[in-house]
Homo-oligomer: A and B are copies of this chain.
Amino acid sequence: MTDLITVYSREADGEQRSAGQLVSLNKGFVIYHECDPANHWYEVVSGTVRTCRFMGDGHRQLTGFFYCNDVFGVDHGHYRESAEAVTGVVLRRFAAAPSSQAESTTEARGRILERALESARQCIFLFGHRTAANRVAAFLISIVDRSGGRSGVRIPMTRSDIADHLNLTLHTVSRTISEFAKRRLIVLDGPQNIRILDLEQLRLLAGDGGGDGDEHARESA
């Protein structure tokens, strides 16, 4: 219903193809389905995208969230997961496997694949955490890090999306975030807006030793 595509074609003859095609999509739009032929890969210009697959028992697994400058849809042959717009998004679309102009693109493809691999690793990393608090903390930190480290952060996806990404229920996610707020690690300004109060403690919970500071992570229940 609300799905709508607006294409700003920049492919007017002289225009360089490598710039990609700008595509604007409404919230909820399905960019591609699992098993579709992987004819394009995408770079996020603005907004948030989620990639997901459906398990045999019907439950959804979100394999990644993609923000500005992230790439997704880098698959060979056919897509291994579907992709949907979490918010309204603007994407840059590129043709995959450009067998015709294989020149400059071949080495560029390496960098694209590396970025995709990095995204996959980020997802794996989240799953390494044991408890709900650990996972949610790690997730929040991953968002903060991508937001340039500002303490006030917008969470574009729903609790349900987060839950399906961390392999928890939306109840547990909600409870855990509320718990963080109760402990004054964060402040909620509506469900989607979070202000980080104690990043240090949050990093301890996540237990990644991410970059700066103390490595003497010792949990105090």
| Identity of the chain B residue whose Cβ is nearest the Cβ of A74 in the assembled complex | B117
Q: Are A114 and B114 in contact (CB under 8 A)?
A: no
Interface residue stretch chosen among A16-24, A181-189, A206-214: A206-214
| Identity of the chain B residue whose Cβ is nearest the Cβ of A76 in the assembled complex | B114
Question: Smallest Cβ distance from A169 to chain B, in angstroms?
Answer: 10
Residues of chain B lying within 8 A (CB to CB) of residue A27: none
Q: Are A120 and B124 in contact (CB under 8 A)?
A: yes
Question: Smallest Cβ distance from A99 to chain B, in angstroms?
Answer: 12
Q: What is the oligomeric copy number? A: 2
* A204 beta carbon closer than 8 Å to chain B: yes
Q: Are B124 and A56 in contact (CB under 8 A)?
A: no
Question: Smallest Cβ distance from A57 to chain B, in angstroms?
Answer: 5
* A201 beta carbon closer than 8 Å to chain B: no
Q: How far is the CA of A61 from the CA of B123 in the complex (A)?
A: 13
Interface residue stretch chosen among A3-11, A126-134, A153-161: A126-134
* A121 beta carbon closer than 8 Å to chain B: yes
Q: Are A56 and B217 in contact (CB under 8 A)?
A: yes
Question: Smallest Cβ distance from A141 to chain B, in angstroms?
Answer: 12
Q: How far is the CA of A53 from the CA of B102 in the complex (A)?
A: 37
* A175 beta carbon closer than 8 Å to chain B: no
* A59 beta carbon closer than 8 Å to chain B: yes
* A109 beta carbon closer than 8 Å to chain B: yes
* A113 beta carbon closer than 8 Å to chain B: yes
In the complex, 6 of the A-B residue pairs with CB atoms within 8 angstroms, ordered by the A residue number, are A53-B128, A55-B129, A57-B130, A57-B207, A106-B107, A120-B121
